[in-house]
Amino acid sequence: MEAEKRMISPSSQRKRKRRRIRRILRKRKRRNEKRVIAPSSLPNDVIEEIFLRLPVKALIRLKSLSKHWRWTIESRSFEERQLKIAQRSHVVNPKVMVITEEDPLETIPGSPRPDTDIGFRTLCLESASHLSFTLLNFPQGVFHYIYVSESCDGLFCIHSPKSHSVYVVNPATQWLRQLPPARFQILMHKFNPTLEDWRDMESVFQLAFVKAADYKLVWLYNSDKYNADASSPNEGVTKCEVFCFRANAWRSLACTPSYRIFHNQKPAYVNGSVYWLTEPCNARIEVVAFDIHTEIFRLLPKIIPAIAGSDPQHIDMCALDNRLCISKKDYVRMVQDIWRLKTSEDTWENILTIDLISCSSSGAEVLNRFDWCVQGLVEPLTPVAVCKNNKILLSHCRSRGLVKYDPFAKSLDFFFGHPWSRRKITYFPSLISRI
């Protein structure tokens, strides 16, 4: 018996020693670990105040750590509070969004392969530093043919005419929603345009993304053979459809403008109204306005004489610092004038004249800085934003890049370039999703 005890004793001692070592290691590990406060140990209002001071990217990561935090961050009240802070921050630290097609494939004649990836690059307006990049996949493809709206509370509308698709996306949260087809899309699908039809088509594919009591999409387009409806023979010169997100449906407006809309012009949204340029009627261009609250169209009472009698190819319209601006380009002298509309809508003021030739030593250098094709010389520049030092960020519908114009030094500086850029606009990230 004593011999057996002597044989067992060393083994038991080793086991006890190993258990003791494990206890020591566990104690050391607990001492080295940082104390983590459970989410429930802080009041909800304190958690919200902390979260409101964080960037959207950090908030997205925090959602995966706690169900309670996820519920807080995804609540509509928190999204609205964060939106107000983002709007104020945008005034101090403005940002620019460049939307691009990513590595689009060459199409095979007669069998186009749909490209599906769109990139969203956020840049600092002042320094041009890269802040973020988001790549979103659109399963139906866009066929190298997209139209992008202005940003509305960090959201964008992307229209792909060839795939008959309209999406609303939030690049910051990577949220995407495909909308049901509008009447325009249904009729276009029935018409089934050929490649030649697409080349000759002058339909208006640009949508305005706005917010009244709720978010809306406004689609004003011309009545053409591509969207003709046999059931409604007297449809007028234009048609307008409005998408209601709560009802998840499009509805047509009865009263629309009796002027055809210029198809190459993007709508501009300023202070509760959306604006479009018209095609020349009796050798005169008009500006159509749409009140997003009353949903009534009107014509602006006064147009600059130099604008009214011009070819719309030489005219551009945009929103700059929440004011409506119109530009006209003299492509012979390479000079562009920019006017700004006063809030009374009865007076225009000239705010800038850009002499592109005096900006550099030769016309070739201007071409290189903007990376235009030659036909782009005819069309005007688009002011995107005004920097703190009064430099103006400029884009162009046929340009691959952005440049800054210094009105004092009369110089152009390269800002950003991408071979497949589709839209350049001011932007701030938000949490608004699931609208």
pTM attached to this predicted model: 0.84
Q: Is the pLDDT of residue 374 over 80?
A: no
For residue 258, the domain's CATH number is 2.120.10.80
Structure tokens at 361: 């030593």
Q: For residue 303, is it within any domain? A: yes
Task: Tell me the pLDDT of the chain averaged across its residues.
Answer: 84
Q: Report how far residue 164's alpha carbon sits from residue 147's, in angstroms, rounded to the nearest whole number.
A: 12
Q: Among 199, 195, 220, 200, which Cα is nearest to 208's? A: 220
Q: For residue 370, is it within any domain? A: yes
Q: Is the pLDDT of residue 375 over 60?
A: no
Q: Among 121, 143, 161, 91, which Cα is nearest to 322's? A: 91
Q: For residue 215, is it within any domain? A: yes
Q: For residue 75, is it within any domain? A: no
390-416 confidence digits (pLDDT tens)? 899 998 776 677 888 888 888 888 888
Structure tokens at 248: 């998840």
Q: For residue 382, is it within any domain? A: yes
**CA distances (Å), 249 to each of 106, 189, 317, in order?**
35, 18, 29
**CA distances (Å), 254 to each of 10, 234, 241, 251, 297, in order?**
97, 11, 10, 10, 11
Q: For residue 195, is it within any domain? A: yes
382 and 338 Cβ atoms separated by less than 8 Å: no
119-141 confidence digits (pLDDT tens)? 999 999 999 999 999 999 888 87
Q: Report how far residue 405's alpha carbon sits from residue 401's, in angstroms, rounded to the nearest whole number.
A: 13
Count the domains in the chain: 1
* pLDDT score of 198: 80
Q: For residue 67, is it within any domain? A: no
**Helix, strand or coil, per DSSP, at residue 199:** helix
pLDDT band at 68 (very low <50, low <70, confident <90, very high): confident
Q: For residue 149, is it within any domain? A: yes
Q: Report how far residue 30's alpha carbon sits from residue 151's, in angstroms, rounded to the nearest whole number.
A: 49
* pLDDT score of 86: 93
Domain of 98, in residue numbers: 86-104+111-427
Instruction: Provide CB contacts within 8 A for 423, sequence distance 6+.
Output: 97, 98, 99, 148
